[in-house]
Amino acid sequence: MELDDTRREILAAENHLLILGGPGCGKTTIALLKAATTLDRLEPEQRVLFLSFSRAAVRQISDRMRGLLPRASRSRLEVRTFHSFFLELVRAHGPLLTGKPSSFIAPDRERQLRADFHGDWAQETHRLAREEGRYVFDRLAGTAATLLSGNLAVRALYSDTYPLIIVDEFQDTNNDQWQAVQALSQESTIVCLADPDQRIFDFVEGVDDKRIEQANEYLDPTSFDLSKDNHRSPGGGLLDYANAVLRNTPTPPPSSVATWTYAWPVTYKTQAHRAIVAIHSHLEKHLGRTPTVAVLASTNALVARISETISDNREDLENAKRILPAVDHELNWDPELSAAAGYVVASVMEWPDLSRVQAISSTMSAIADFYRIKLSGGTTGARAKITTIERAISAFHRGAKVLSKTGKVIITAVDDGVQLNGDPVSDWQIARARLHGSTELEEIFARARLLRLFKATDALAWALMDAWNGRDAYTDAAQAVRQVLAAEALEAAQAEPVAVSLMNMHKSKGKEFDGVIIVEDQYAAPLLDPAWDQSRSQAARRVLRVAITRARHVVIFVRPAGATPLTG
């Protein structure tokens, strides 16, 4: 590999480093080469640590590593998420703070505890950590930072094991993660990889827009700016255009960026379907292989509607002789709430096999559990809904009048019955259709639409086939759904990228695709709005820059006619 003078300086530098640059500039590549040259000088038991935020980013870095480094070097370069690294550290050394063995409260258990706790949950998690050595997800980073900052032996152990630590997406570190990096920097060399224009998680508590300035002040690193380089989409103008969108600079889009507008009767869903077929065909011919395509939108709800549309063959409204073929795809959804909604649907599929009391109780309990999970995400209004539903369950069992509208709808639906035929796809839709008639049920219905069950070969369909009792119901359908979704969550970290992926724009960060389609609804979730204040508008532009730069070759915008221009 031919290296320029800047990259040779990076490899030769001995002190802390701050490497700045946009998507595709080669930050990850030079960091991996820096790791390889460092490993040559380390003792056999020493390692280089590469920290990132998501499993997707870790997988991508690991894939890049296989193409750059020999096997011996790869075995001594640990690519970890912050969470997994801090979890290991707290499990091993947490007793130094509490005198008790450390234990981790899994997210689903935390949701249950939080839903049933009346008081300040943040304070309670501090107490659990301090007095009982029990840690929820959000307390791991702070505890690890305390151990590394306050215990010289622990810090020396980790710095001796990891003399070089590379921190990916440094601009997104929160205060606890930054404190841990500061502590390790006293004896380890830190390499920070950052792009200030990709700071799209500033709504997360503890993420500071001054983080890069703080790194310069505390670490006094040697800084390198690679922002002029672009190896992801060289020559296509995508990065330049993304920067123009970010800065609202009047710039004509390059040939690699197209905008497909739509107007009634054509909807964003149909136009997105059309764009997927076109971009896939174009890239397949251009690249000589099956391309990877991402369809991005502002919200999960839009993504779910597009997913449903492209799952079937559909007539092209502008060309009646043309059929848009169904598109096999992966839907990247927010797993926790969607899974909880799926358990509600599955409980309906069990009704014919249960007594009236069992059917009503199980579905109402599943609805309450959905709001327990929502409450754990910080939605304070969910607690009142849980209380209302629990009162409805209690009143039903006592034979008293049920006041909850949701309770009344479920009781009526059970009494009316549900006719299932053994086809898991149509039966899922029949069961899901019962989730109408109240605000709570409409919300659960919307979340359940994010679950992929469109054809008989989907994993959920296979599991439900096994649960079919051969007559009229699905036995233990909720458990079957739970097992499938748990398995898919575990496998996601190792899964190979599929040809077409759907996700919201925030979830796309850290990923790369041959082509990207960015979809905007005419009536909701605009990409930009002239009525927004400067802060909101700039945050939206940063997200758009991330979305555009996920593409290596082509970007298509699907936008309503007359939408707010992205530049100028």
Cα distances (Å, whole numbers) of residue 238 to 184, 235, 504, 552 = 37, 8, 20, 8
Label each residue of 62-123 as H, E or C.
HHHHHHHCCHHHHCCEEEEEHHHHHHHHHHHHCHHHHCCCCEECCHHHHHHHHHCCCCCHHH
Q: What is the pLDDT of residue 486?
A: 64
Cα distances (Å, whole numbers) of residue 89 to 4, 103, 487 = 38, 12, 26
Calpha distance 344→366 (Å, rounded): 5
Residue 82, C-beta contacts closer than 8 angstroms, at least 6 positions apart: 51, 52, 53, 141, 177
CB atoms inside a 10 Å sphere around CB 64 = 15
Quick check: helix, strand or coil at residue 519?
strand
Name the amino acid, one letter, at 36: A
Q: What is the pLDDT of residue 96?
A: 94
Q: What is the pLDDT of residue 492?
A: 46
Placement of tokens 């097992």 in the chain: 483
H helix or E strand, kind and range, residue 257: strand 257-262
Q: Does pTM top 0.85 for this prediction? A: no
Gap between the terminal Cα atoms of the chain: 40
List pLDDT tens digits, range 211-253: 999 999 999 999 999 988 766 666 668 988 999 999 999 999 9
DSSP for 278-342 reads HHHHHHHHHHSS---EEEEESSHHHHHHHHHHHTS-EEETTEEEEEEPP---EE---HHHHHHHH
Nearest to 558 by CA among 175, 238, 251, 295: 295
Calpha distance 376→113 (Å, rounded): 9
Spans in the chain with pLDDT lower than 50 = 490-495
Q: What is the pLDDT of residue 300?
A: 76
H helix or E strand, kind and range, residue 330: strand 330-331
CB atoms inside a 10 Å sphere around CB 508 = 23
Residue 168, C-beta contacts closer than 8 angstroms, at least 6 positions apart: 28, 31, 50, 51, 52, 53, 57, 61, 193
Placement of tokens 């149909």 in the chain: 270
DSSP letter (8 states) at residue 332 = -
Encode 87-103: b = buried (16+ Cβ within 10 Å), e = exposed. bebbeebbeebbeeebe
Tell me the β-bridge partners of 515: 293, 554
Q: What is the pLDDT of residue 374?
A: 74
With contact defined as beta carbons under 8 Å apart, do 518 and 299 qualify? no
CB atoms inside a 10 Å sphere around CB 230 = 21
- Tokens read off for 264: 């009634």
Q: What is the pLDDT of residue 490?
A: 45
Calpha distance 275→295 (Å, rounded): 10
